[in-house]
Amino acid sequence: MNDQRVHIDLPPRSLDILDAVVKLNIETGRPVSSGLVERYLRRLFSSATIRAVMKSLEDGGLLDQPHTSAGRLPTDAGFRVFVDRLQASWSLQQHDVPPGLKRLADGAPINQAGGAERLKAMAALLSRLTDNISIIVGPQLAAVRAVRVECYPRTLRRLLMVVVLEDGQVRTGLVDLPRETPATVVEEAARLLSDKIAGLTVGEIGRGVLDSLDLVSTPVTRCAAAMASRGQALFSTVDEGGIEFEGVSKVLEEPEFHDPEPLKALIRFIESPRLIRRTLDRLNQRSADRLEVWIGEENPYEPLRRFSILTGRIDLDGKPGMLAVLGPRRMSYQRAFHGVDILRQVLIEDPGALAN
């Protein structure tokens, strides 16, 4: 993976002015003038000093001037310096959670829901917390454990096989038996299979755990072996797992996305669960725990280079999931970091405790 991130040492005065430009651009969405910076910094520096520093930051590739006499905008490199400093102070726990964000999580029905509903509730909360597009990726089905097998005869030689998984998920398929089999035998065979697969993951079953059942030959065991062999297709093609996202319409209102090209790229991305999972897997390769931030051209997934994206991993009842926050390059990174922290806390604690 190419890493285009830059590491620049700047004097404190330049950092103060760069921070001011970034924060004002995040707030207004417009180029930032030296006069606005001067007022924001409460005239800490003279207007001449601010203009000179902004010109120096522009020459260094951290700011850009869209046209003559306009204010400046942060470049990807300028946002990177800002985000790196923010993350460094974050690790020192120097940022208190705003009370308003805490209240958003109060009563969030995340830990009361299961399966797809839980992912949906998580995505809705993260979008509210960050004010951007949120993406929650549940564990791949290969990591989910089986609970039991249920079989429902359709004819004497065909049955509907239902494998019940954790959190109420199911996999179903029609299975043809080699010979006519009474319903009582099918029922006993289903119980036998349930005992064999209980606690195994879908991935383990799909890799052929049931290919050979070491059982004494009886009508029930022969039926169970046939069901295991013919039902293997239920596990040979593993689904990508649940994916939920929220906040797309909110982000599309931002002026950066009046251009149709980033809209097309975003739509193509969110319409493909496989692409979402593959992209987030790639972006999360560098760290299992740390929240990663990809700004504009840093993103190895080229179609999303008009966006910033925060990615990280989450624990969902002992199984690995992923999250992402996707928005304009001038998103409020501090709010996004707080939002991810709050969501992770909600997953392990009572949401109501956050409001105290």
Structural contact between residues 165 and 171, judged by C-beta atoms closer than 8 angstroms:
yes
Q: The domain containing residue 46 runs over which residues?
A: 12-88
Query: Residue 99 falls within a domain, yes or no?
Result: no
Residue-level pLDDT at 25: 96
DSSP assignments along 87-139, one per residue: HHHHHTT--PPPHHHHHHHTT--STT--HHHHHHHHHHHHHHHHTSEEEEEPP
- Range in 51-60, 145-154, 175-184, 223-232 the model is least confident about: 223-232
Query: Residue 220 falls within a domain, yes or no?
Result: yes
Estimate the share of the chain in helix, then strand, then coil, as percent rounded to the nearest 5. Answer: 50, 20, 30
pLDDT for 169 beyond 80: no
pLDDT in tens, 218-242: 888 888 888 888 777 776 655 556 8
Q: How confident is the model at residue 114 (pLDDT cuts 50, 70, 90)?
A: low
Over range 301-323, report the average pLDDT.
89
Residue-level pLDDT at 205: 77
- Range in 3-12, 73-82, 336-345 the model is least confident about: 3-12
Assess whether 111 and 186 both reside in one domain.
Answer: no
Tokens of 129: 């917390």
Query: Residue 98 falls within a domain, yes or no?
Result: no
Residue-level pLDDT at 354: 46
Instruction: Report the distance separating Cα 241 and Cα 138, nearest Å.
Output: 6
Over range 150-169, report the average pLDDT.
85
Task: Determine if residue 118 is left, alpha or beta; phi over 0 gives left, psi from -120 to 50 gives alpha, anything else beta.
Answer: alpha
Q: What is the mean pLDDT of the chain?
A: 85
H/E run at residue 159: strand 158-165
Instruction: Report the distance separating Cα 295 and Cα 81, nearest Å.
Output: 11
Residue-level pLDDT at 352: 43
Assess whether 17 and 130 both reside in one domain.
Answer: no
Domain count of the fold of the chain: 3
Over range 281-309, report the average pLDDT.
87
H/E run at residue 164: strand 158-165
Instruction: Report the distance separating Cα 48 and Cα 243, nearest Å.
Output: 51
Over range 27-40, report the average pLDDT.
94
Assess whether 30 and 155 both reside in one domain.
Answer: no
Q: How confident is the model at residue 356 (pLDDT cuts 50, 70, 90)?
A: very low
Q: Return the higher-pLDDT residue of 54 and 209.
A: 54
pLDDT for 1 beyond 50: no
Tokens of 243: 């994916």
Assess whether 18 and 62 both reside in one domain.
Answer: yes
Instruction: Report the distance separating Cα 308 and Cα 253, nearest Å.
Output: 16
Q: What percent of the chain has pLDDT over 90?
A: 40
Q: Return the higher-pLDDT residue of 255 and 330.
A: 330
Q: Return the higher-pLDDT residue of 19 and 69.
A: 19
pLDDT for 64 beyond 50: yes
CATH of residue 319's domain is 3.30.450.40
Assess whether 53 and 131 both reside in one domain.
Answer: no
Assess whether 254 and 133 both reside in one domain.
Answer: yes
pLDDT for 20 beyond 60: yes
Q: Which among 75, 94, 74, 70 has a CA at the least distance from the CA of 23?
A: 74
C-alpha torsion 87→89→93→94, nearest 10 = -130
Which of 139-143, 190-194, 206-210 has maximum average pLDDT?
Answer: 190-194
pLDDT for 334 beyond 90: yes
Phi, psi of 164 (to 5 degrees): -90, 130
